[in-house]
Amino acid sequence: MVSATSVKEALQSTAPADGMLVQGWVRTRRDSKEFSFVELNDGSCLRNLQIIARQTLPNYDAVQRLTTGAAIRAQGSLVTSQGKGQSWELVADEIEIIGGSDETYPLQKKGHTPEFLRAISHLRPRSNLFGCVFRVRSRLAFAVHQFFQERGFVYVHTPIITASDAEGAGELFSVTTLDLEKPPRRPDDGRVDYAQDFFARRTFLTVSGQLEAEAFACALSKVYTFGPTFRAENSNTSRHANEFWMIEPEMAFCDLHGNMDLAEEMVKYLVHDIRENCAEDLGLFAKFVDKELLARLEFVVDRPFQRISYEEAITLLKASGEEFEFPVEYGLNLQSEHERWLSEKHFKCPVTVFNYPKEIKPFYMRLNDDHRTVTAMDLLVPGIGEIVGGSQREERLDVLEENMRRHKMDLADYKWYLDLRRYGTVPHAGFGLGFERMLMFVTGVANIRDVIPFARTPGSAEF
């Protein structure tokens, strides 16, 4: 049996070919007196391959009834195209109709809003826009692994089910097999008896693989995780989802500056890779999604990033003259509008903000000598705001224990984490990069729901 050639491979051919087999889905069909012209797409690239169906085909009548969305297989000769805008077309010797489609197919040849396409997430990858989005998503994931593997990092699979709240914010999804209608109760206080649950304790979907990655970094020196994370955060913004993917490197013998260096290097690397390998898809985004996209990506690759302290950022924001929705005060978290003002309006490039007040950051961040700030860092990019968040971790056992007490944490629950400071402790650092936010940055797509195959957001877990 002849193996199929992808549409991308066919369009990149350097010479005509006989007996070529292609397969995919019909985008459009038009008829002339002697031929039918079928535009075929198989998802391998943005462009379609034109199939020429002659009247001599035994099933020509059926071919003339093909509609958008039908699946076909065509075999014939790849020849130089007579039409404009394409190099090759396939003159079919036979066309097999694999699966028909009818007038109820929702992706007709017209514009569709992102909101409409979210309602048919099972079909939207067949549209031009979302085909491009998910091809870029695939390439970006590959580039992530390539970046770390080239630098000697070890890929670690951290648990999805965990008993630890790495962020300490309490925004966790519970995992249980107990009967929620009649859960077992403890005899002493009447509370739910999680000792009878599947794991004999309360467990959750992970919000981060950081803590477990630290354990591996303290043995293998440089590691990274790349997997799904979950936040039970009732937020309906365009930047938040309840299930998303996170990239989290951890490095032993590393401080805040080394951490910032790696984060900035990684963002530049990923942008460069997508520009090199997804030029056709980026062209669609630049034409229909964000006309400034290509210039912004070029700027990111070619220019150094800015670095400022949190205190300097607050000073700039206060002196900006801008009217922000959220207040700007030392000791408050920067909001998206503040982050975007810094990266889009003031510096007009990515900005790394470091040394945040200890009160607004998690327990594991290293306390600075001023005893007011911790070695936190956030990398902000135009159009998104924060895309990377990280820190040098607190390696001193006594200081870490005090941090945990200040956050009202039970030290017994984190004995294993404290052991890393008891046995061969070293300075170490790491960060988390939101994969979907990075994808939004390189595509210009403004809503996180449109860069995830099947988005999970408050009140929505369809498909």
Prediction pTM value: 0.94
The per-residue pLDDT of the chain, averaged, comes to 94
**Where in the chain are all domains bearing CATH 2.40.50.140?**
7-99
For residues 193, 197, 199, 200, the Cα torsion angle rounded to the nearest 10 degrees is: 30
CA dist 437 and 450 (Å) reads 11
What kind and span of H or E run contains 432?
strand 428-434
Residue 111, pLDDT score? 82
The rounded distance, in Å, linking the Cα atoms of 233 and 451 is 19
What distance in Å separates the CA atoms of residue 406 and residue 399, rounded to the nearest whole number? 11
Residue 70 backbone zone (phi > 0: left; psi -120 to 50: alpha; other: beta): beta
Confidence band for 86, pLDDT divided at 50, 70 and 90: confident
pLDDT value at 1 more than 70 = no
Domain boundaries 7-99, CATH class: mainly beta
Q: How confident is the model at residue 462, as a pLDDT?
A: 86
List where CATH 3.30.930.10 sits in the chain: 126-172+207-450
% of residues, the chain, pLDDT over 70: 99
Residue 239 — pLDDT band, cuts 50, 70, 90? confident
* 292 Cβ neighbours under 8 A, 6+ residues apart: 444
The CATH architecture assigned to 126-172+207-450 reads 2-Layer Sandwich (3.30)
**Sign of the torsion formed by the C-alpha atoms of 358, 360, 363 and 365:** negative
